[in-house]
Structure 1
Amino acid sequence: MPPLDMHRFEQLKASGELPSPRGVALAIIRLTQEEEVSIPELARIIKSDPAFVGRLIKAANGTVPLNRRAIVSVQEALMVLGLPAVRTMALGFSLLSNYRKGACAGFDYGRFWSSSLLMALSMQVLVQRVRVVAADEAFSVGLLARVGELALATLYPADYGRILLESRRFPELRLFDLEQQAFAMTHRELSAAMLVDWGLPPIFTQPVMFFEQADKATFAAESREAQLMECLGLARTLAELCLAPSVEQTSMMPGVLKQAAALGLNKEDFAAACERIGREWMEWGKLLQLETLAPPQFSDLIERSGGTGQPVPAACAGADGGAEAAETGARDGGMRVLVVDDEASIRKLMCAVLEEAGHTVFEAENGRIGLERALDIQPHMMVLDWVMPEMEGLELVRALRATKIGRSIYILLLTNVEDDERLIEAFEVGADDFVTKPVKPRVLAARMRAGQRVVRLQQELERDREEIRHFAAELAITNRRLQEAALTDALTGFPNRRYAIDRMQQEWTAAKRNGRPLSCMIIDLDGFKQINDTYGHDVGDMVLRQSADALRLALRGQDVICRTGGDEFLVICPDTDLAQGLSCAERLRAAVDALAIVTGADTLGLTISIGVAVRDDSMADLDALMKRADQGAYLAKQRGRNCVASVQGGAAGAQR
């Protein structure tokens, strides 16, 4: 099955707003698609972009063993990488250069590209050990694996910004679900569809489709697709770890090690691989002018996490501190509460009081372990001692409030301090309440009940917000579908006349401002009225649909085709002169001419007449351009149909 309804994808593509390569990258991609590619010619085009030269040679050196001579020339890099990898790298680097900024306020473009670069480098290093695909191809796949996020930010900047903000404020809401509600598609589907459209083989596009939701994949356990999907998943996790605050990195490491173990990587080998990824990230960041952070010391992270792929052992005694208890939550309507105190007697007293109140209690003996446990358990409430070894209470509060998980936890401090200024400082740091020592069980229970009411009110408020968000998302998707329906021809799925005029005006303005050529075509189906009269409108509709499919497949990537009425189509061709327009029109004519439409006992042939026109200085507005194209179509009809013609410059296409 295709990753996305390709009919829907073609509509998005026809809008001209999808991220796409430009300039030298576009020339490289087009040249590498030719059957006979001259390496010297390709090298000449590449050398016209010094920035891409440097990136290409560095990428090639990343695939060469460390004890081999370094690659220093474009020709050597081409020989090492191969044409498919060069084409995909040109695509990825072009997108990086042209989409560093955008209109989506909620989308962090810098972080997106830094994360994508980390994924690219992680893929390059990982596949050299797993040996599932070539390292150079893996680099490009890692760089483009999440391009659907960039595409949604480009297509729907305001709506996608709102969705990203919601997903950050409320981590329990899955980004996929929000995207599906708002756009009737997800970024992973769009990523895979774009890679398919750019010519990447299924061995790459299918893992890209599923690596963020591996449970939905149906790959055979030991297949290349399954291994590549696991590599992408690990690369994504490594990118998140490198960009996470340092206080969260240790708690993330067990999950990373578990993914590495699933790929058969031992601890030492994986640590060395991660160190190399960190070094390469810093070097590539300078080359691509991307902001990077100091990479983590992976050996230290692995040691602090226990050096295994299992969760860090629970620090509490008496209560069930495993992940299962944290997931099931508190019993009988209670809360998950984490007690952090260096005195075992205090923890014992806390546990007794809180368990009697119906809460599920976890323990930690110092601030550092308490922070790790909080990020792992995600408690509703925490009771912290003000003075503790390794990390004091206020320092722990600051660290928690700096994380997504910690911002929603109700925090109660145990303290001997009665100084008003110190207590004010505690509240300003982020504490919600305090209890003075020695702790009185009844006072503690009363403070915890007050805190529980606050947590419950927050939960109720969040449920109300979720209902509103759900209703708003459903309304937004309904409005979007109505808008699409208003601009779409129901029979062919092409944009309709209303869309065509608006889009034509945009392209006219852009061409006039930038001094770039703009061509258009008017296409008429030959003898369509006779088909309708002879076979009926059902057959006529089938003919229209099949001819529309043939035209869609024969178009170039930048062209936009619309059905303007009856059996007439308009094709908008940006950056296209008259000769190129005639050549493209001839390809469309041949595609329809090759159709054999089966209608019961009869098989129908179909032809089209095409008029082509290009914008020139004599034209006052776009109506003049369309009129010239219409005159060309009339000329093609006069010449016997099934041909291409233009009234400009005496040019005309081949007549059949």
Structure 2
Amino acid sequence: MPPPIDMNRFEQLKATGDLPSPRGVALAIIRLTQAEEVSMAELARVIKSDPAFVGRLIKAANGVVSFHRRAVVSVQEALMVLGLPAVRTMALGFSLLSSYRKGGCVGFDYARFWSSSLLMALSMQVVAQRLRVIAADEAFSLGLLARVGELALATLYPTDYGRLLLESQRFPELRLSDLEQQSFALTHNELSAAMLADWGLPVVFTEPVLYFEQAERAGFAAGGREEGLLQCLVLSRALTEICLASEVDQAALMPPVLKLATRLGLGRDDFAAACERIGREWLEWSKLLQLESVAPPAFGSLVQKGAAAAQARNEAPQPVQPVATPLVESGMRVMVVDAEPAVRRELRGLLEAAGHLVVEAGNGREGMELALEVQPHMMVLDWAMPEMDGLELVRALRATKMGRGIYVLLLTQVEDDERLVEAFEAGADDFVVKPVRPRVLNARLRAGQRVVRLQQELERDREEIRHFAAELAITNRRLQEAALTDALTGFPNRRYAIDRIQQEWIASTRNRRPLSCMLIDLDGFKQINDSHGHDVGDMVLRQAADALRVALRGQDVICRTGGDEFIVICPDTELDAAMVCGERLREAVEALVVETGGPRLKLTISVGVAVRDASMEDVDALIKRADQGAYKAKQRGRNLVASMQGAGSDESSAGTAGLAV
């Protein structure tokens, strides 16, 4: 399993203040639900101040109650049904939807993003109710936010991400995640998982979000909760794509989705009923949230057709698996699509005699479905066919990512210039006149085979370039991390600290939020070095760093700025709270017994604390004020927390420093 996102990178993005975040009443709800003691009455009062959220909350609650229970009609009932974690996450999701319906990323389809996110939420809710992997309310929230990393990248880098999306559309063979990794040193999946973790969702939810678009990389234990949740996300994403796809693509996408549903234990009728419910609720929710929607597919007939198509594949004498194959040198996978069995038999004989593997289809619709599954190198198809003629089939193929790479040979009974021009403009590569002459057909096949081989060689070269670019991006990222990391303690170094506190200063200015910092000196460290040597000094630094790391809050950032000095950056923190945090750090180090393999040493620290105020023109003024606090602590006997600001909060209990025990 590949490692998750480096949280240092996420913290850098978070410090910009530009990541999508909740606002207004939603922010109040989230903060209230995070409190240790919150009454339902108080929470209901805050929720009722936002009528739109009230309606959404009650509808969500009715979506998870049993059919035989009476409907939820009040906020208090909805809170009892959903629980605080689900309410908090729903408030977050709906707040983002309200605030980020539009944006500055030209290539990002905001309306489609929210429609697909809503479909993911509803699909997750319905699937989870049947499979009982997680609670339905949690599933709804998870589905709604599973792809929030895409929105975040569009918000953080509107110009660059728009260009990247356009490049991905123009060159479908390029993976979006590879492009994101090269451009931003992280993917939208990694960013989604990191944002959900930052918002308080447990690891059992965030890890499946990290991998559900590349499930083969996950490596979860079979039968575990993470694996079950991953499969629910995969199935929900597939159902979302079906709902938003064209009618032709819907039929082609259903067989593999039905196969996954069956593997998860969903019977055909039960699955069809679940899909119908998703479609109905999608229309209702879209009206409630003022999102654009289209008529959902007729899932009943779609599931039946998908099952019939799957059964037909299983009965095929030589099923072809769509796996990566070596370069075409002799034979190709060729699909023959013609309504006349006699013509198909004749073509099969000619093609197999030339060493090709042949798959047949009797009409255009069947050919389209089979092509998406088999992924042939070449298709030989008749122009005149019932249901979907050859020209319509060519256009449908070229509208799909997979179909753009298939070499299409069109069979026609006329050589009219206008009709041939129409065929080439639709996407055909070549044509053969009926009745087919074997020597002409073989010559056309050899020409097509050369094109297919060149395409494969080009794809191999592109894959090597993608692989090289991904390795280079990872190497550059590691070099950047090494340049910003202190090798001894593992903390960020002085260079990172300067950049980070500048970012926090900017965010504090923009959001009008407090910003505090602490400067920490190890008391008597020079004496330890002089008495016991630098090796022992390094041990002291490492173990002191570990103690500080454990005692810090999750939002704080600690860096080693040199020697025995550390700085702690405390976003959204007033002076009193920073003093309390500084005291906790002092106590953690004072309680530490440093194991050196020889003498066991005691250690203390002096901490200076400062908060940004109106008199400070820049970051340097804030750091200088904290440094004055640390000097004050040293003057007063060390092992203290001190500040040059505030009253009555400039020191804590004293101790001893640097003594052997």
The interval holding the TM-score normalised by the smaller chain is: 0.7 to 0.9
Letter in 2 for 1:38: S
Task: Report matched runs for 1:177-256 at 5 Å.
Answer: 192=193, 195-205=196-206, 207-208=208-209, 211=212, 212-213=214-215, 216-221=218-223, 223-256=224-257
Equivalence for 1:382:
379
1:360 maps to amino acid: L
2:330 aligns to what SS in structure 1? coil
Is the contact made by 1:188 and 1:209 (CA closer than 8 Å) also made in structure 2?
yes
CA distance 1:235–1:312, shift in 2 (3 Å): farther
2:379 is aligned with what amino acid? M
Which one-letter code corresponds to 1:16 in the other structure? K
Structure 2 counterparts to residues 255-270 of structure 1, below 5 A: 255-270=256-271
Q: Offset of 1:407 from its aligned partner?
A: 0.7
How do 1:348-359 residues align onto structure 2 when only pairs under 5 Å count? 348-359=345-356
Deviation, 1:569, is 2.2
Match of 1:131 in 2: 132
**Helix, strand or coil for the counterpart of 2:14?**
coil
Please state if 1:527 is matched with 2:521: no
Matches for 1:19-34 after TM superposition, within 5 Å: 19=19, 21-23=21-23, 24-34=25-35
User: Which of 560, 565, 569 pairs up with 1:568?
Assistant: 565
| CA deviation string 1:108-145 (max 9, x = no partner) | 55544433332222221122222333211222233344
- Contact kept in structure 1, 2:492 and 2:559, CA below 8 Å: yes
Contact between 1:214 and 1:229, CA under 8 Å: does it hold in 2?
A: no
CA contact (8 A) 1:11 1:495 kept: no
Q: How far 1:295 moved relative to its partner?
A: 1.9
My pick for the range that moved more, 295-304 or 581-590, is 581-590
Q: Secondary structure at the match of 1:78?
A: helix
Is the CA contact (8 Å cut-off) linking 1:520 and 1:572 kept in structure 2?
yes
Partner of 2:658: none
Aligned residue for 1:71, secondary structure, equals coil
Look up the match of 1:347.
344
**Map of 1:405 onto structure 2:** 402
- Opposite residue 257 of structure 1, the aligned amino acid is L
- 1:449 and 2:446 aligned: yes
| Alignment partner of 1:620 is 2:617 | yes
Kept in 1, the 8 Å contact 2:258–2:306? The answer is no
Matched residue, 1:517: 514
Deviation at 1:610, TM superposition (A): 2.3
* 1:524-580 per-position Cα deviation (integer Å, ceiling 9, x unaligned): 223332333334333433333343344444444444333222222223333333334
CA distance in 2, matches of 1:593, 1:285: 58
Give a deviation string over 1:176-231, Cα, whole Å, max 9, x none.
7777788887765665565555444455445545655268545353x544443433
- Residue of structure 1 aligned with 2:429, choices 427, 432, 437: 432
Counterparts in 2 of 1:42 and 1:565: CA distance versus 1, 3 Å: farther
1:85 CA drift (Å): 2.0
Match of 1:600 among 597, 600, 609: 597
Kept in 2, the 8 Å contact 1:586–1:653? The answer is: no
Q: Distance in 1 between matches of 2:524 and 2:323?
A: 71
Deviation for aligned residue 1:21: 4.0
Alignment of 1:35-184 (within 5 A): 35-97=36-98, 110-147=111-148
Structure 2 partner of 1:538: 535
Distance 2:587 2:29 in 1: 27
1:491 aligns to what?
A: 488
Letter in 2 for 1:22: P
Task: Give me the whole-angstrom Cα distance separating, in 1, the residues matched to 2:355 and 2:228.
Answer: 45
Q: What's the secondary structure of 2:645's corresponding residue?
A: coil
* Deviation of the 1:328 alpha carbon: 6.5
Structure 1 match to 2:280: 279
Distance 2:473 2:133 in 1: 42
**Structure 1 counterpart of 2:656:** none
How large is the RMSD of aligned CA atoms in angstroms?
3.5
Displacement after TM superposition at 1:371 (Å): 0.9
- Matches of residues 313-392 of structure 1 in structure 2 within 5 Å? 313=313, 320-324=317-321, 333-392=330-389
How far 1:22 sits from its partner (Å)? 3.5
| Superimposed CA distance per residue, residues 578-604 of structure 1 (whole angstroms, 9 cap, x where no aligned partner) | 334334433443444444433335444
Question: Do the aligned residues in 2 keep the contact of 1:367 with 1:388 (CA within 8 Å)?
Answer: yes
Q: Residue 207 and residue 594 in structure 1: after superposition, are their counterparts in 2 closer, same or farther (change >3 A)?
A: farther
Q: 1:96 to 1:640 in 2, by over 3 A?
A: farther
Q: Which runs of 5+ in 1 are unaligned?
A: none
* Contact 2:377–2:407 (CA under 8 A) maintained in structure 1: yes
Q: Relative to structure 1, is the Cα distance of residues 532 and 627 closer, same or farther in structure 2, using a 3 angstrom cutoff?
A: same
Determine helix, strand or coil for the equivalent of 2:385. coil
* Distance in 2 between residues matched to 1:105 and 1:553, nearest whole Å: 44
Checking the alignment, whether the CA contact within 8 Å between 2:12 and 2:500 is kept in structure 1 is no
Q: CA deviation at 1:250?
A: 1.7
Q: Residues of 1 paired with 2:135 and 2:11: CA distance?
A: 30
Give the secondary structure class of the aligned counterpart of 1:66.
coil
CA contact (8 A) 1:220 1:226 kept: yes
Moved more, 47-56 or 622-631: 47-56
TM-score of the aligned structures, taking structure 2 as reference length: 0.87
Partner SS for 1:519: strand
Compute the TM-score of the two structures, normalised by the length of structure 1.
Answer: 0.87
What is the CA–CA distance in structure 1 between the aligned matches of 2:567 and 2:354, rounded to whole Å? Answer: 72
**1:597 is paired with a residue of what secondary structure?**
strand
Deviates most, 177-186 or 397-406: 177-186
Structure 1 residues 100, 533: CA separation in 2 closer, same or farther (over 3 Å shift)? farther
> What secondary structure, in the 3-state scheme, does the structure 2 residue paired with 1:323 have?
coil
**Mapped partners of 2:463, 2:403: distance in 1:** 20
After superposition, give the CA deviation of every residue in 1:244-274 in whole Å (9 maximum; x if it has no partner).
Answer: 3321222222222222223322222211111
Alpha-carbon distance between aligned partners in 2 of 1:157 and 1:408, rounded to the nearest angstrom = 31
Q: Which position in structure 2 is the counterpart of 1:475?
A: 472
Match of 2:629 in 1: 632
The 3 A distance-change label for structure 1 pair 177 and 215 is same
Amino acid at match of 2:313: P
- Structure 2 CA distance, aligned partners of 1:103 and 1:483? 29
Deviation, structure 1 residue 73: 2.7
Task: Find the aligned partners of 1:629 and 1:502 in 2 and give their Cα distance.
Answer: 18
Query: Whole-Å Cα distance in 2 between the matches of residues 608 and 289 of structure 1?
Result: 57
The 8 Å contact of residues 328 and 452 in structure 2, kept in 1 or not, is answered as no
Amino acid at match of 1:501: I
Is the 2:108–2:162 Cα contact (8 Å) retained in structure 1?
yes
Question: In terms of mean alpha carbon deviation, does 434-443 or 609-618 score higher?
Answer: 609-618
- Check conservation: 2:484, 2:496, Cα contact below 8 A: yes
- Pair 1:50–1:42, CA change in 2 (3 A): same
Displacement of 1:629 in angstroms is 1.6
- Measured in 2, the distance between the counterparts of 1:151 and 1:544 equals 38
Q: How big is the shift at 1:107?
A: 5.9
For 1:300, the aligned partner's letter is: S
C-alpha distance in 2 between matches for 1:575 and 1:325 = 53
Q: What is the SS of the residue equivalent to 2:72? A: coil
Q: 1:313 to 1:195 in 2, by over 3 A?
A: same
CA contact (8 A) 1:341 1:366 kept: yes
Q: 1:583 to 1:89 in 2, by over 3 A?
A: farther
